[in-house]
Amino acid sequence: MEASRKPLARVEGRRRLRLSGLTIVWRGTPSLDDWVAYILRAKSKKFILADHASERKVKTLLSRLQTMSKKQVEKLAKG
């Protein structure tokens, strides 16, 4: 008899950046490279900052965004 495996835990979070006033949302599974981070907006269009990235890359990106202006963050998301 095979033991049932419990599903992998998903991690979600959001952070409001003090300098730019933007809200950044991220989610992913620990130890997998399926993390995504994007700018939360009222409009349907999302500015994706990172996609299919590792947890470490997303967390590093979040710390870098703390010191950026709104214009710089949106430019990074579009680029």
Instruction: Indicate if the pLDDT at residue 5 is higher than 90.
Output: no
- pLDDT one-digit tens code per residue, 18-49: 999 999 999 999 989 999 999 988 676 778 99
Q: How far apart are CA 46 and CA 57, in angstroms?
A: 19
The pLDDT > 70 percentage for the chain reads 92
Looking at residue 6, its pLDDT comes to: 76
Looking at residue 51, its pLDDT comes to: 93
Q: Write down the pTM of the prediction.
A: 0.81
Instruction: Indicate if the pLDDT at residue 67 is higher than 70.
Output: yes
Question: The tokens 């003090």 sit on which residue?
Answer: 18
Q: 41: Cβ–Cβ under 8 A, 6 or more apart, which residues?
A: 47
Collapse the DSSP code of 23 into the 3-class scheme (helix H, G, I; strand E, B; otherwise coil) and give the result.
Answer: strand
Q: How far apart are CA 38 and CA 41, in angstroms?
A: 9
Q: DSSP states of 44-74 as a string? A: S--EEEEEEE-HHHHHHHHHHHTTS-HHHHH
Looking at residue 44, its pLDDT comes to: 64
